[in-house]
Amino acid sequence: MMGFPVLEDLGDVSGKKVLLRADFNCPIAEGPDGKTIITDDYRIISTVPTIAWLLEHGAIVTVMSHFGRPKGKYDERYVLDPVEKRLADLIGPVTFLENLRFNPGEEANDDAFVKQLIAGQDLYVNDAFAVSHRSHASVVGPPKYLPSVAGRQLEKEALMMSRLLNEPERPFIAVVGGAKISDKLSLLKSLATKVDAIIVGGGMSYTFQRALGHNTGDSIVDESKIAECADLLASGPRVLLPIDLVALAPGGKLDFSNNLSEEEKGTVKIVSVDVPDGYEAADIGPKTRDHFAREITSAKTILWNGPMGAFEDERFAEGTKAIAEAVAASSAFSVIGGGDSVRALNESGLESQVSHVSTGGGASLELIEKGDLPGLIALRNAPKK
């Protein structure tokens, strides 16, 4: 996993033109004037140490990033102006390329687009951990032609993940949530060989409950994955599942915007793991919160990725909040990844009480599952300075 070059390996960068791949794909909202505003600048702040080091050592820096999902064409909603302004507030003006994903060559890893990006550049720095699992032009292309290294954030992320996977203090507990079991079943299989216990919550847990023969009502279940869940339960480490649930009664609606009427939202009820017909489970129950928190308290190493329910609806947010509080209160080495987990942690004001908040949920999961990333491999194979 390690062994890639870092900033110091660039040597003297004074007067050198450096192309920096950052990940400034920040959460956004529409401001009062209709313009895009950034609601969380954590990813911008995370790249400042790398840019500062390059500028202090005399480099001429050009920053590139994607922003949103413009699908290979210009989209005014995703121009990088708000990001450029925020970075300028933090470190002063820096040259920016426009949104990489305005060009279809980015996601297609088109070599012609790579050569367009690197034209006139001397060196390349990847500080975009969150996209280093993507074989995109700006991630794996420049290291084919330029001396290339990892920036501070990418270096930190990889070091933290290396500690998590290669030298974890036991017990090592993974807390995995989210809606779809299909998104994370391969991760769970990989974790099963590395951890002492896996806590499973969120929509993905209901497929496991079905595998155990429980009724799941109208809860989300992936029928095609039931057999694989049963195999994992039979052959892996301890898998802890919810022992009670918070469910939406028939006729009710999930309220992700928190603006539905009480009548529209319907009735919420705490149920057992056998969910009544017509009910939809949407969070872990109070007994499960206590059960999971006790397990987390016993851990020496914790990985958390994914919410315990539909936490965007305040009626179903308590389970995810309870996990955030338990992880923050633990003295364990803790790594939190995935946008929803990080958001829950931030909303609880607990981000400073964990060991590491990862900027890349998908990249973290792929690194755990496969042991390496295309972006890291590209850096190792890059030409030397």
Tokens 């970075």, residue located: 87
Quote the number of domains for the chain.
2
Whether residues 138 and 223 fall in one domain:
no
Q: What are phi and psi of 269, to 5 degrees?
A: -140, 140
Under 8 Å between Cβ of 101 and 139 = no
Of 204, 231, 230, residue with least CA distance to 219:
204
Active site residue 362: yes
Residue 337 has a pLDDT of 83
State the pLDDT at residue 2. Answer: 64
Sites in the chain below the pLDDT cut of 50: 1
Give 208's contacts (C-beta < 8 A, 6+ positions apart): 181, 200, 229, 233, 239, 241
Among residues 72, 236, 362, 385, the one annotated as catalytic is 362
Q: ∠ at Cα 374 (180, 132), nearest 5°?
A: 65
Residues 91 and 195 in one domain: no
303: nearest Cα among 228, 199, 206, 148: 199
Residue pair 91/52 in contact by the 8 Å Cβ criterion: yes
- Per-residue model confidence (pLDDT) at position 352: 87
Question: Considering 16, 21, 43, 184, which one is annotated as catalytic?
Answer: 43
| pLDDT at residue 258, rounded to an integer | 76
- Residue 342 maps to a domain: no
Residue of 238, 253, 339, 380 marked catalytic: 339
pLDDT score for 343: 80
Say yes or no: 188 and 322 in one domain.
Answer: yes
Domain identity same for 22 and 97: yes
Owner of token pair 């179903």 = 316
Beta bridge partners of 76: none
380 by Cβ neighbours in 10 Å (0-12 / 13-18 / 19+) ranks as: middle
Tally DSSP H helices, then E strands, for the chain. 14, 16
Q: Say whether both 53 and 141 belong to one domain.
A: yes
Query: Domain check: are 133 and 240 in the same one?
Result: no
Gap between the Cα atoms of 224 and 203, Å rounded: 15
**Residue 319: inside a domain:** yes
**The pair of three-digit structure tokens given for residue 30, joined into one six-digit string:** 């529409």
Distance of alpha carbon 222 from alpha carbon 56, whole angstroms: 53
The pLDDT of residue 305 is 92
Q: Which of 144, 180, 265, 343 is catalytic?
A: 180
| DSSP type of residue 187 | H
Do 201 and 252 lie in a common domain? Answer: yes
Give the pairing of strands 17-21 and 60-64: parallel
Q: Same domain, yes or no, for 137 and 179?
A: no
Both 189 and 56 in one domain: the answer is: no
Is the pTM higher than 0.75? The answer reads: yes
Q: Is residue 347 part of a domain?
A: no
Is residue 77 assigned to a domain? yes
- Listed residue (294, 324, 296, 298) closest to 309, CA to CA: 324
- Do 107 and 178 belong to one domain? no
Q: Which two tokens stand for residue 32?
A: 């009062």
Cβ pair 306, 176 in contact under 8 A: yes
Residue 21's H or E segment, with its range, is: strand 17-21
* Structural domain harbouring 259: 170-331
**Does 247 lie in the same domain as 149?**
no
6 DSSP 8-state letter: B
CATH of the domain at 100: 3.40.50.1260
CA 293 from chain centre, in angstroms, equals: 22
Using alpha carbons only, give the angle 237, 240, 245 rounded to the nearest 5 degrees.
Answer: 160
Nearest CA-CA partner of 179 in 152, 151, 150, 203: 203
Q: Is 364 inside any structural domain?
A: no
339 is catalytic: yes
> Distance between CA atoms of 19 and 258, rounded to whole angstroms?
43
Spell out the alpha helix ranges (H) of 32-168.
42-56, 81-91, 111-118, 137-140, 152-166
Any domain includes 40: yes
252 in catalytic set: no
Q: Is 253 a catalytic residue?
A: no
